[in-house]
A = this chain, B = another copy of it.
Amino acid sequence: MAPYQRVKQYLKSGLEHGRWKPGSLMPSESDLVAQFGVSRMTVSRALRELQNEGLVERVQGVGTFAAQLHKLSATLSIRDMREHVESRGLRYRMDMQLLREEAAPPLVAQRFGIQPGAPVFHSLAVHFEDGVPLQCEDRWVHPAAAPHYLSNDFSASTPTQYLLEVAPTWEASYTIEAAMPSRQEARLLKIDASEPCLVITRSTVSRGIAVTLVRLVHPGSRYLLEGRFSP
């Protein structure tokens, strides 16, 4: 194991075993240099990585402290539906229900920074896994970000794949909630109108402008999100 990893591992396992309580002072860089017989750059890297992982907090002129652990955040991967299905060896299909230009509704116009009623692209697709509907994707697209959205061949790529190609995602925010499907969504997903759904609403920014707003509706009985954190 590389020296910086040895130092990092030593500190990590010490934190794990409660050798340093949250908020307490940890060894300084020069302490660790002496203890491990390595150069300061090496312990510095170990400490910086622990800081990036949220395990320690460092204050210039003061020292390094064991972090409060409940500030942890977890990773949740958001993948393209096609990849999600095919990566598990299942058959993927998408039905494009609607693909056209429309007048921007007020909410969409606001997020895109354009006038209400200005032309925007609107698509509605259903994603299937082995013939079972798994996701209903209701999407608005800013024409300036993807001018040829309407003429793309969506039998070859999903809206997510196409948009990632023409406008790489540089920031996105989303919400996850439980809600009832609309009547139309229930029909498209072939579920009862009273079945709870997992609804993800996502807004994506590329090169400073909003690219797309999307509402992803999943039948609660067929889809769940998984995640983990490991500090």
Contacts and interface: CB of A to CB of B under 8 A. Distances in A.
Contacts of A161: 70
A227 B41 CA distance: 34
Given A70-B80, A180-B196, A227 B168 contact: no
A99 to B, nearest CB: 21
Dominant SS among interface residues on chain A: mixed
Interface residues of A toward B: which range? 35 or more
Contacts of A62: none
A174 to B, nearest CB: 6
Contact of A76 (B73, B164, B177): B73
B228 A173 contact: yes
Contact of A207 (B16, B73, B231): B16
Contacts of A198: 176-178, 198
Interface stretch (A102-110, A127-135, A218-226): A218-226
B173 A227 contact: yes
B172 A196 contact: no
B172 A228 contact: yes
Contacts of A16: 168, 170, 207
Contacts of A230: 170-172
A228 B174 contact: yes
Interface in A179-231: 179-180, 194, 196-199, 207, 218, 220, 223-231
